[in-house]
Amino acid sequence: MFTDALSLSDQKVVVIGGSSGIGFSTALLAAGLGANVCIASRNSERLAAAVTEIEKLSKHPVTALQVNIEDRSRVKDFLDEVGAVDHLLIPGSTVIPQLLPDMTEEVARAAFDSKFWGPFWCAIDAQGNMPRGGSITLYSGVAAERPVKGFVIGAAIDGAVNALVRSLALEYGPHKIRVNAISPGLILTPLLTTIDHFVSRVDPSDELAAQSPLRRAGEPVHCALAAIGLMLNEFVTGEVINVEGGARAMP
């Protein structure tokens, strides 16, 4: 009975943004728990490398498809291609941090297109793919509640995603589809190295980690464990699960 409660056996788990970081770790863990995994993102080489790793743990062949979450029409085609989905996770997005005086309207709009509108329309368009008992997991971030200099737009998007999942949970509840968000704190993924140049100018990430209650940054698997819990637990919806090592408790 306990092992059944911890199994994703033969469930279809789709991770948009599954070739790296938090999404990749989640795809790995889901495959290890018996899921039939499909990953998607923009870069085909990174997808192929991720498939090789996930298939080492998977009893099913892993599928990988190129998708840009910002392209609603491509995402709709992708959803047609994958068909029924038990659990849809959407960590795939790109937000370029900018210090306020440098911020351009173009960069601000691009960030919302990627991390808000992309997952928003994907969650709307995927309803027909989801059976009763399915779940959708979106990704926000601790900046919604604990501002970090240079992440004004990122924080605004994170807050919008947190509000979105509560409303979608209400709308989708009668269909027995659950909608939640994971709000990561500082998690050591390739994302941090891409913004390292930026972060080091305003607030070094190791300094941020050293100030936090646990005096450390998190690993992708910490968010992956939360995602697995959200897939397995049929009584959780409309929640924002914070995986941030106590960052919000910092004085």
Ligand X SMILES: NC(=O)c1ccc[n+]([C@@H]2O[C@H](COP(=O)([O-])OP(=O)(O)OC[C@H]3O[C@@H](n4cnc5c(N)ncnc54)[C@H](OP(=O)(O)O)[C@@H]3O)[C@@H](O)[C@H]2O)c1
46 binds ligand X (CB under 6 A): yes
To ligand X, the closest distance from the beta carbon of 42 in angstroms equals 3
**Chain length of the chain:** 251
Which stretch in 1-9, 127-135, 185-193, 227-235 sits in contact with ligand X by CB under 6 A? Answer: 185-193
Q: Which is nearer to ligand X, 6 or 202 (CB)?
A: 202
Contact between 187 and ligand X by CB under 6 A: the answer reads: yes
**Applying CB under 6 A, which of residues 7, 9, 43, 52 lies at the interface with ligand X?**
43
Per-residue three-class SS string for 56-106: CCCCCCCEEEECCCCCHHHHHHHHHHHCCCCEEEECCCCCCCCCHHHCCHH
Q: How far apart are the first and last CA of the chain?
A: 43
67 interacts with ligand X by CB under 6 A: yes
Q: Phi and psi (nearest 5°) for 24?
A: -65, -45
**Residue of this chain nearest to ligand X (CB atom):** 21
62 neighbors 55 (Cβ within 8 angstroms): yes
245: contact with ligand X by CB under 6 A: no
**Residue 23 binds ligand X, judged by CB under 6 A:** yes
41 binds ligand X per the rule CB under 6 A: yes
Q: How far is the CB of 142 from ligand X (least distance, A)?
A: 6
With a CB cutoff of 8 Å and minimum separation 6, the contacts of 86 are 8, 11, 12, 13, 35, 130, 131, 133, 134, 135, 231
The minimum distance between CB 101 and ligand X, in angstroms, equals 23
193 binds ligand X (CB under 6 A): no
**Is position 20 an interface residue for ligand X (rule: CB under 6 A)?**
yes
Contacts (CB under 6 A) with ligand X, residues 83-122: 91-95, 114-115
What gap in Å lies between CA 172 and CA 105, rounded to an integer? 33
Q: Site for ligand X (CB under 6 A): how many residues?
A: 31
How far apart are the C-alpha atoms of 161 and 98, rounded to whole Å?
A: 20
Question: Could you give the CA distance from residue 47 to residue 66 in angstroms, rounded to a whole number?
Answer: 8
List of residues contacting ligand X (CB under 6 A): 16-17, 19-23, 41-43, 46, 67-70, 91-95, 114-115, 139, 141, 184, 186-187, 189-192
